[in-house]
């Protein structure tokens, strides 16, 4: 099993139809990508996606469903997971209506627990991918603290993202300990600072390939290994220039850091 994966959101601008999608898979396979985090394209069935991945010796690490649809979609989720040979369901962010106060975050934590219990009964792990906005403070507690503290570790996993941990003001190699035994996958991209133009208060940061920015990768990888991370999923939300070159650079640098 490869330790390096790719969130296909990174490639969204080069796979708008079936032909470009298949070409993208071919080029990624040449780079060495074996595991992908992918949603079923609108122009393809789950069976077709499974077959195309299999032909290229690639594998989906999860299936996707929005939090608001999980409990009404269990049959579909189970079928897609079986077709894609995965035991993980990943989901999206807390709904905007629940982000306004601590009570909303507590309601969402309760929702995640119910959904995670239903998924556990059909043999699937449930994984929530947070960003930076969950670090909003409600006096003496933050949104992320509520989600971590009020969800059941047996029912709700998290997918940390080192860029968003940095954006939220933490040192990823330290904060990642909060996810010990609660995370299998981790999103990796670098946090880079641009040349300053304009007011010094507007620190210009941007997404960058792994190893080309300012993150403490030795510390991050050491902690990740200790907390049980199985796969390091490249996700570069915004790419300037050739997206395939950016992915390859991240892959190459991760391998230089000791991943395989």
Confidence at residue 202, expressed as pLDDT on a 0 to 100 scale: 81
Confidence at residue 148, expressed as pLDDT on a 0 to 100 scale: 98
Residue range 106-159, pLDDT digits in tens:
999 999 999 999 999 999 999 999 999 999 999 999 999 999 999 999 999 999
Confidence at residue 198, expressed as pLDDT on a 0 to 100 scale: 83
Q: Which residues of 68-82 are buried (b: 16+ CB within 10 A; e: fewer)?
A: eebeeebeebbebbe
Angstrom distance (rounded) from CA 173 to CA 40: 33
Confidence at residue 66, expressed as pLDDT on a 0 to 100 scale: 97
Confidence at residue 1, expressed as pLDDT on a 0 to 100 scale: 67
Confidence at residue 116, expressed as pLDDT on a 0 to 100 scale: 98
CA 138 to chain CA mean position, Å: 25
pTM of the complete model beyond 0.85 = yes
Confidence at residue 159, expressed as pLDDT on a 0 to 100 scale: 98
Question: What architecture is domain 4-256?
Answer: Alpha-Beta Barrel (3.20)
The mean pLDDT value of the chain amounts to 97
4: β partners: 232
Enumerate residue ranges in the chain where pLDDT < 70: 1
Which of 157, 222, 162, 150 has its CA nearest to residue 186?
A: 162
Confidence at residue 199, expressed as pLDDT on a 0 to 100 scale: 85
Residue 38, number of CB atoms within 10 A of its CB: 24
Q: HSE of 33 in the Cβ direction (CA atoms, 13 Å)? A: 31
């Amino acid at each position: 099993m490869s330790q390096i994966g790719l969130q296909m959101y990174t490639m969204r601008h080069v796979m708008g139809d079936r032909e470009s999608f298949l070409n993208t898979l071919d080029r990624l396979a040449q780079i060495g990508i074996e595991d992908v985090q992918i949603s079923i394209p609108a122009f393809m069935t789950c069976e077709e996606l499974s077959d195309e991945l299999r032909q290229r010796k690639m594998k989906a690490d999860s299936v996707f469903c929005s939090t608001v649809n999980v409990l009404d979609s269990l049959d579909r989720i189970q079928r897609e997971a079986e077709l894609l040979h995965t035991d993980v369901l990943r989901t999206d962010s807390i709904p905007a209506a629940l982000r306004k106060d601590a009570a909303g975050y507590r309601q969402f934590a309760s929702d995640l627990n119910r959904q995670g219990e239903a998924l556990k009964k059909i043999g699937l792990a449930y994984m929530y991918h947070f960003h930076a906005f969950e670090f909003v403070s409600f006096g003496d507690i933050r949104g992320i603290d509520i989600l971590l503290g009020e969800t059941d570790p047996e029912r709700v996993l998290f997918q940390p993202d080192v860029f968003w941990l940095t954006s939220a003001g933490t040192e990823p190699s330290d904060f990642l300990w909060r996810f010990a035994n609660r995370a299998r996958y981790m999103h990796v991209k670098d946090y880079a600072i641009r040349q300053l133009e304009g007011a010094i208060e507007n620190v210009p940061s941007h997404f960058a390939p792994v190893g080309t920015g300012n993150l403490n990768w030795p510390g991050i990888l050491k902690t990740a290994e200790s907390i049980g991370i199985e796969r390091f999923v490249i996700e570069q939300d915004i790419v300037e220039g050739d997206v395939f070159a950016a992915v390859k650079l991240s892959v190459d640098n991760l391998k230089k850091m000791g991943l395989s």
